[in-house]
């Protein structure tokens, strides 16, 4: 399992990032989050960050050419033979084709795609309650994982904030974009025999157990 190359696919708020961190703690797989990578670039006001900022703040998907180049470059920087989990990428079929082409050029391939299934009402409820530490980026949820002291990170004491793209109006825009552009990836990866689905509306430990079973299965490459 430790050398697997995996994609976590699913709508925003479905728990992909949380599960990527949990799985990483139990293996040597490295989580690579497109969202965190882009937010870092936006904070640093790099060229790609400035290009991405307008799309992120409007709840729109970042164009394929921007995000694909960032993610392929990130993978190239990993130590040889390192397994990874792509969280939030690819989001469109063209991105998937570009990713798989880039991996093939490096003699790599995707071993499994885990699809997180969750309905829109639950997604909105989860996201509007999300908060993140401004210092260490530790995630919280006001309902399912509140901080011990309101507005303060348990780990570093930093202030918690709501991301600009976690408002309900922006969430609905993001979901519309997801359903239109990203959902076809389910069929795309299913045709390749890579897709495995998990129901994400259950306790986190149950979802985690299902993912570990998928990654340890001999039927995933």
Q: What is the separation of C-alpha 183 from the centre of its chain, rounded to a whole number of angstroms?
A: 14
Give CA torsion, residues 84, 183, 170, 166, to 10 deg: -30
* C-alpha to C-alpha distance for 144 and 132, rounded to whole angstroms: 14
For residue 204, give the nearest of 17, 11, 51 by alpha carbon. Answer: 17
Task: Give the start-end residues of each E strand in 53-111.
Answer: 84-87
Domains of the chain: 5-117+178-216 (3.40.50.300)
Q: Is the dihedral angle over the CA atoms 102, 106, 112, 117 positive or is it negative?
A: negative
> What pTM was estimated for this model as a whole?
0.76
* C-alpha to C-alpha distance for 9 and 7, rounded to whole angstroms: 6
* Catalytic annotation, residues: 16, 91, 130, 163, 174
Which run of H or E residues covers position 215? helix 204-216
Please list the pLDDT of the chain residue by residue as tens digits (221 residues).
668 999 999 888 898 988 998 999 888 899 988 777 778 788 888 777 788 888 878 878 778 888 887 788 778 878 888 899 998 899 889 999 999 998 999 999 999 999 999 998 899 988 999 999 999 989 899 988 999 999 999 999 999 999 888 989 888 988 888 888 877 899 999 999 999 999 999 988 999 999 999 998 765 55
In the structure encoding, which two tokens stand for residue 108, read together? Answer: 């790599």
Parallel/antiparallel/unpaired status of strands 139-141 and 130-133? antiparallel
């Amino acid at each position: 399992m430790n050398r697997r190359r995996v994609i976590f696919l699913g709508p925003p708020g479905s728990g992909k990032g949380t599960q990527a961190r949990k799985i990483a703690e139990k293996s040597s797989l490295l989580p690579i989050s497109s969202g965190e990578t882009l937010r870092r670039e936006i904070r640093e006001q790099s060229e790609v960050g400035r290009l991405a900022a307008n799309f992120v703040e409007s709840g729109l998907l970042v164009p394929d050419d921007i995000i694909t180049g960032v993610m392929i470059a990130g993978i190239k920087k990993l130590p040889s033979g390192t397994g990874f989990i792509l969280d939030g990428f690819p989001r469109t079929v063209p991105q998937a084709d570009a990713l798989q082409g880039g991996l093939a050029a490096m003699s790599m391939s995707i071993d499994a795609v885990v699809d997180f299934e969750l309905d829109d009402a639950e997604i909105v409820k989860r996201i509007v309650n999300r908060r993140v530490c401004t210092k260490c980026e530790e995630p919280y949820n006001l309902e399912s994982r509140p901080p011990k002291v309101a507005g303060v990170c348990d780990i570093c004491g930093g202030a918690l904030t709501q991301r600009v793209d976690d408002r309900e109006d922006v969430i609905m825009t993001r979901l519309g974009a997801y359903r239109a552009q990203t959902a076809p990836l389910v069929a795309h990866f299913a045709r390749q025999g890579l897709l495995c689905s998990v129901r994400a509306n259950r306790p986190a430990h149950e979802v985690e157990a299902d993912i570990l079973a998928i990654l340890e299965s001999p039927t995933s490459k």
